[in-house]
Structure 1
């Protein structure tokens, strides 16, 4: 019997390492695949889009907020993987009647690496998990060296349009913005509480007038009209469409994310040059 503790502090004992996994978190599905556990994954959500072939080889059990309990039960899982932010407490409680529900809770890269280490122990893939942790730490260090001479800029990171919603404090997105030397104008804003507050964009100038507006590719399909409308409420912000997966997915995705952030910084630099030439 081995004792394991998830990131909410819930304790589990497993006789053997779990053989049938249902994953209700897209980024964690990708991580489990990258840890070599493809054959053990039996159920995923409709949002689990990486790796691409899973949607034809795995059973889809619903979304991240609504799941088909009967479908999950029929898969006879040994463990269900959830995340505190992605899945509701009701889902976790309901599914706990079927088998242990392991809940991750991730705000920082340290939390992320802890999750990978936990999975290494839980699923008996320690060597693979250490490899990914090393890759992430290396990519992070390399990125911090790259970014150290950049000036800090201010940003508003939009995740939803109509009503407009942003990523604020205590979010993984905010943690990655900080690493990018981007100061989130809504991070410590006393008027807006919660992690993804609805904001009044008309007041953006007085609330921090950001240098940059990031419009995330997920979960909302922002377009040029949104970009134009939001830009009007700032003095000079440059609007940038960003890849939401790179800012909000944890797990093995981070290795690609740091690469992406380098390209993004260069792109923002070019925008800046174009901007100053046009004046």
Structure 2
């Protein structure tokens, strides 16, 4: 049976339903597929797909998110490929779209993430499972927002994602939306992921500096570096997966973010 779906970029794709040979091009969406119970249907993942560890280990690795092994993908003959506008390259996606059904997500806030989970659940014949995940995440984040208001949590934050050059999460990003949901204010006015000069960082005057564990692996050794740049700010390492993975990991992110809020009270 053939069905037609519209992805988050407005593209129309038609595929055999339900799909039985799925390739995921994004780590957070790979984890979502497995959490929806698609253990056999997922045949290929990227080398950056790390959750769930035992399950992704057994799958074909079709390259990195921005450098796909197109020939390997062709040889696997997928009946559905799931990617993301920000994490995959336009040229490679357009090449794959000429040969396969490619469903693309486009996510910059929590509502779009929940929409993605629902739509993916529908397209892979796991709508009830997806609806349950959406319910858990929605309730969790409503509680996080309530706690932020009740405890008057408010702090100006610089969220660093890269070094050499320094890059941070700006406005119109999923990370920015998650921070706002828990009562934190992004000190950056720029959108997306601006490159920051050392002098600029020193002028931002945040109360908190979050050093994300990914995509750049900031660690304890970097705390002193940023404390020197901004002596008045409190610097801490945060789990990047909990701020930037927009699939089923959001269920676990709720508990992590509750603890973070408590630490900031």
- For the aligned pair, the TM-score class normalised by the smaller chain equals over 0.9
Q: TM-score, normalised by structure 2?
A: 0.95
Determine the structure 2 residue equivalent to 1:218. 214
> Is contact 1:153-1:211 (8 Å) kept?
yes
Deviation at 1:221, TM superposition (A): 1.9
After superposing on structure 2, the runs of 4+ consecutive aligned residues of structure 1 that deviate more than 3 Å are: none
Distance 1:248 1:228 in 2: 24
Q: Secondary structure in 2 aligned to 1:95?
A: helix
> Is contact 1:201-1:230 (8 Å) kept?
no
Determine the structure 2 residue equivalent to 1:200. 197
- Aligned equivalent of 1:244, options 236, 240, 244: 240
Determine the structure 2 residue equivalent to 1:152. 154
Deviates more, 1:16-25 or 1:226-235: 226-235
Determine the structure 2 residue equivalent to 1:48. 49
> Is contact 1:155-1:210 (8 Å) kept?
yes
Instruction: Indicate whether 1:258 and 2:260 are aligned.
Output: no
Determine the structure 1 residue equivalent to 2:102. 101
Distance 2:248 2:220 in 1: 31
Distance 1:78 1:112 in 2: 23
> Is contact 1:203-1:233 (8 Å) kept?
no
Determine the structure 1 residue equivalent to 2:116. 115
Deviation at 1:263, TM superposition (A): 1.2
Deviates more, 1:223-232 or 1:90-99: 223-232
Distance 2:27 2:182 in 1: 24
Determine the structure 1 residue equivalent to 2:164. 162
Which blocks of at least 5 consecutive residues in structure 2 are unaligned?
none
The CA RMSD measured in Å over matched residues stands at 1.4
Q: TM-score, normalised by structure 1?
A: 0.90
Determine the structure 2 residue equivalent to 1:273. none
- Aligned equivalent of 2:187, options 171, 180, 185: 185
Instruction: Indicate whether 1:176 and 2:184 are aligned.
Output: no
> Is contact 1:24-1:45 (8 Å) kept?
yes
Between Structure 1 and Structure 2, how many residues are aligned?
263
Pair 1:60–1:15, CA change in 2 (3 A):
closer
Instruction: Indicate whether 1:132 and 2:151 are aligned.
Output: no
Determine the structure 2 residue equivalent to 1:277. none
Q: Secondary structure in 1 aligned to 2:209?
A: strand
> Is contact 1:31-1:251 (8 Å) kept?
yes
Determine the structure 1 residue equivalent to 2:229. 233
Distance 2:129 2:263 in 1: 34
> Is contact 2:163-2:216 (8 Å) kept?
yes
Distance 1:165 1:125 in 2: 37
> Is contact 2:16-2:79 (8 Å) kept?
no
> Is contact 1:161-1:226 (8 Å) kept?
no
Determine the structure 2 residue equivalent to 1:89. 90
Distance 1:129 1:167 in 2: 28
Determine the structure 1 residue equivalent to 2:12. 11
Distance 2:220 2:132 in 1: 40
Distance 2:220 2:43 in 1: 40
Structure with the largest fraction of strand: 2
Deviation at 1:138, TM superposition (A): 1.2
CA offsets per residue over residues 28-63 of structure 1, 9 Å max, x none? 000011111111000000111000112431111111
> Is contact 2:15-2:79 (8 Å) kept?
no
> Is contact 1:81-1:102 (8 Å) kept?
yes
Deviation at 1:225, TM superposition (A): 4.0
